[in-house]
Amino acid sequence: MLSDYLNAYKLNRPNEFLTIPKPLDRGKITAKDLIKVTTANECVELIKKWAEEVYHSWSSSHLIVSQIADGFLDSSYNGKTQDGKTRNKARI
């Protein structure tokens, strides 16, 4: 479970933190912009742009987040396929 992995990760790294972007560096798109859209397609495109802004604003933390994600995936899915079944191991 991700929350268990994160708790263990934080216990081993008590001084490691994500760098929170300053409010004016978090992107320009806000909830107020959603009110202006008139179609579902416009809404989808605006949300994609918002997500891209958020992703870029957190770029200073991407390395840490990637390490956490890789560690979680390795611990959770090592030797398993996406459907949860154990992979056949090669025989020598």
Which pTM value belongs to this model? 0.67
Q: What local confidence, expressed as pLDDT, does residue 83 receive?
A: 57
> What are the structural domain ranges in the chain?
2-77
DSSP 19-37: -PPPGGGS-S--HHHHHH-
Q: Tens of pLDDT along the chain (92 residues)? A: 899 999 999 999 999 999 999 999 999 999 999 999 999 999 999 999 999 999 999 999 999 999 999 999 998 877 555 555 544 444 33
Q: Where are the alpha helices (DSSP H) in the chain?
A: 2-12, 31-36, 40-57, 62-77
